Structure 1
Amino acid sequence: MPEILTVDAFDDAAVDAWWDAYAAARRADMGEHALVWTREESRAELQQPSATTKRTAYVAMDRGAVVGSGSLALSLKDNLHSAALGVNVPPQHRRQGVGTALLTHIEAEAVAAGRTTMRVDILWPASAPADGAGQPNREFARRHGYEIAIGDLQNRLELPVPDGVIDDLRAGTPESDGYELHSWRGAVPEHFVAEWAALDAVLDTEAPTGELDIEAASGDVDDVRAHEELLVRQNRTSFGTVAVAPDGGVAAYTQLVVSGDDGNAYQWGTLVRREDRGHRLGMRVKLANLWMLQRESPQTPRIYTFNAESNAHMLAVNTRLGFIPTARLAELQKRVATSL
């Protein structure tokens, strides 16, 4: 059996070996549609002290070589019952007990921290069945007691979107109902950040959650600022847009983040406040943010986004923008008994 070791985030060689195993596994599974955090993005996240999340990386060692990698993320302010796990084994080391050894070790670490809900995200090609039947990573997870809590689609939009397409979509949205759009590059402006944080905190519970055992995040402004500092260290650039309601409150927000390493843009949160739904604000803020991105970062080749398959409204918005599905992602879950 392989030996499981904790990675020192400040040991460059150890982090490199951990990342190499992660990237090799992802690329083997997803080919051209693999989305892989870059080496330096991953290193920066592991190294940054965080008030919200404790992150630990692991490697499986066999005869002095790294044969697999894993990760554990424990939320420190909310969702104290859950743990996010990752297991990645390059194809040449599979079916040798490496994945099982990693998963068993990381689950034990989570249980020791008092966590009772284990969460794992896995991906497979869009052409495969929606339930992942027959996909190696899905069958591995099933054998270890993980079931799909919610299914997502990975979608891609090639850029640039012609201005005429954006204008046509804008023409179908109201312009005189009292909502004002504000866009920026970089940190969230101080006069919006508290409400931005509050909306972002409920994103995971306001969007479709399926069977996920999850609660809203803390919504702390200091945490937003700390995450913005991490983005800078990761060579990422944030583009944000909000819609301000007639009452002066932030009614909707959206965020795109561009990786300075791989060049792509990634759609992060988009949410409309409950009392402001029905005004097509989701489309409006996304169009404004896309328009800004294409002018501020014209070299960005594409945008990737993930949406729950049950989120028909947001998928319809993305389809109108020109997104196409490229992969499926399943958010898996297993409940365990704590040893405490």
Structure 2
Amino acid sequence: MGVIDIEELDFANAAEADQRELFDLQVDWWTKAMPPRRLPDFSGWVRRNQTPEGNWGRARFLVARENGHVVGYAYGYLPTTDNTHLVAGSTIVGEQWRRRGIGTALLRHALRLANRDTAGVSWIPGDSEGARWATRRGFTVVSSLTLQDLVLTDPLPEVGEVPPGHRLVQWTGRAPDDLLDAYVDALNTTGDQPMGDSPYELATFTRERVRQAEDELLAAGGEVWVVLALHGTEAAAVTVLHRRLSRPSVGHQQHTGVLRAHRGKGLGRLVKAHLLHQLTGFEIIETETNTTNEQMLRINHSLGFTDRLITVDLSARVADLML
């Protein structure tokens, strides 16, 4: 066993060999811990990590090397407006290098550089070695998500009738200027979704933030698909789906929400079903829902989604961690 060196890595300007070693470690973890329906393409994965994620900014990387080769890494985000108390990320160590303290060393180094009060980690399979590793160091499970997916086959689920006084509009790419205000209002209704004890504070959408998020996704080679339900000129419900360059055949369902005044009319299922009929070039749709959100889970099941995996989010005050 050689000496382990830990250093920051400028991912955007890193050598392709380093990027590929990071990618291989990530894919190995995905394959064993939470097998995806589709693995990402290397070039698309690189481009995504080079692109800011809205208020979260670009991912920052620390790497652990042995004899010059990357054997583990930590990556994280430091939000710049909302959630400025928080660093969010994860740590991955190649299987043959585990139990040597590399993950703990990466985490310790990353938290020192981040200098934030709270640390959070998401998308960890429940009852997994990764979750147990984190809890032994002082992290606490604060919420859980049910990952669901839908293999698109004919026939697609029926859309159903649009309630009287309502209409549906849809688009891809940037929201039309005349619908932007209604779109922002609809997105903000997702702020009352169940979050458990998560330290994450859901951001308030504004016209500027929506445009920034759209432009960043499109700049990274992605696409956005939206169905918006209107009552007159006012928002009633919305659903949003993203396609990433790294997995072009997979759609990731993002926000779905119904404004309080329009709930109980089936609009949540309606906009999601309508969206499925607009999509082209997709094979699989993935989504995640808080495990306590029984209504959305039922809606997804009615559309043909199946439960694939339960993941947990963990959090800790950095000062309380045992590193």
**Structures share fold, TM-score greater than 0.5:** yes
CA shift, 1:34, in A, is 6.4
Partners of 2:163 and 2:57 lie apart in 1 by: 46
What is the CA-CA distance between 1:253 and the residue it aligns to?
A: 1.0
Equivalent position of 2:118 in the other structure: 117
Residue 227 of structure 1 deviates from its aligned partner by 2.4
Q: Deviations over 1:50-94 (max 9, x none)?
A: 772333122111221101122111111111111211111222222
Q: Is the 8 A contact 2:75 2:90 kept in 1?
A: yes
Counterpart code for 1:26: W
Give 1:39 deviation, angstroms: 3.1
Query: Offset at 1:138?
Result: 1.1
Matched, 1:226 2:208: no
- Cα deviation, 1:254-284, whole Å, max 9, x if unaligned, reads 1112234421111111111223222211111
State the shift of 1:229 in Å.
2.6
Structure 2 partner of 1:330: 312
RMSD over equivalenced CA pairs, Å: 2.3
Give a deviation string over 1:120-156, Cα, whole Å, max 9, x none.
01333xxxxxxx33x2111111111111111111111
Indicate conservation of the 8 Å contact 2:163/2:265, yes or no: no
Residue pair 1:7, 1:58 contacting (<8 A) in 2 also: yes
Conserved 8 A contact 2:187-2:255: yes
| 2:184 match | 197
Equivalent residue runs for 1:1-340 within 5 Å: 2-8=4-10, 9-13=12-16, 14-31=18-35, 33=36, 37-48=40-51, 52-55=55-58, 56-110=60-114, 112=115, 115-124=116-125, 132-133=126-127, 135-163=128-156, 165-167=157-159, 170=160, 173=161, 175-201=162-188, 203=190, 205-246=191-232, 248-262=233-247, 263-293=249-279, 297=280, 299-337=281-319
The 1:10/1:277 distance shift into structure 2, 3 A limit, reads: same
Q: 1:49 to 1:237 in 2, by over 3 A?
A: closer
Relative to structure 1, the CA distance from residue 161 to residue 317 in structure 2 (aligned partners, 3 Å threshold; closer, same or farther) is farther
1:252/1:104 CA distance change after superposition, 3 Å: same
TM-score (normalised: structure 1): 0.84
Give the distance between the partners of 1:301 and 1:54, measured in 2 at CA: 29
1:3-60 per-position Cα deviation (integer Å, ceiling 9, x unaligned): 22222122242333322222222222223x3665543344334333577233312211
> 1:315: Cα distance to partner?
0.2
8 Å contact 2:122–2:314 — kept in the other structure? yes
For these two proteins, the number of residue pairs brought into alignment is: 314
Unpaired stretches in structure 2, ≥5 consecutive residues:
none
Q: Distance in 2 between matches of 1:50 and 1:185?
A: 19
User: Structure 1's 2 and 196: CA in aligned 2 closer, same or farther, altered over 3 A?
Assistant: farther
- The letter of the residue matching 1:123 is I
Give, in whole Å, the separation in 1 of the partners of 2:282 and 2:178.
Answer: 29
Give 1:193 shift: 2.4
Output the TM-score relative to the length of structure 2.
0.88
Please tell me whether the aligned partners of residues 54 and 213 of structure 2 are also in contact (alpha carbons under 8 angstroms): no
Q: For 1:261 and 1:51, how far apart are their aligned partners in 2?
A: 18
- 8 Å contact kept, 2:189–2:259: no
Matched residues, percent identical?
27
Query: Which is worse superposed, 236-245 or 51-60?
Result: 51-60
**Aligned equivalents of 1:322, 1:334: Cα separation in 2:** 36
1:225 to partner: Cα distance: 2.3
Tell me the SS of whatever aligns to 1:209.
coil
Verify the 8 A CA contact 1:255 1:270 in the aligned structure 2. Answer: yes
* CA 1:198–1:99: 2 relative to 1, 3 Å: farther
The range that moved more, 326-335 or 89-98, is: 89-98
User: 5+ residue gaps in structure 1?
Assistant: 125-131
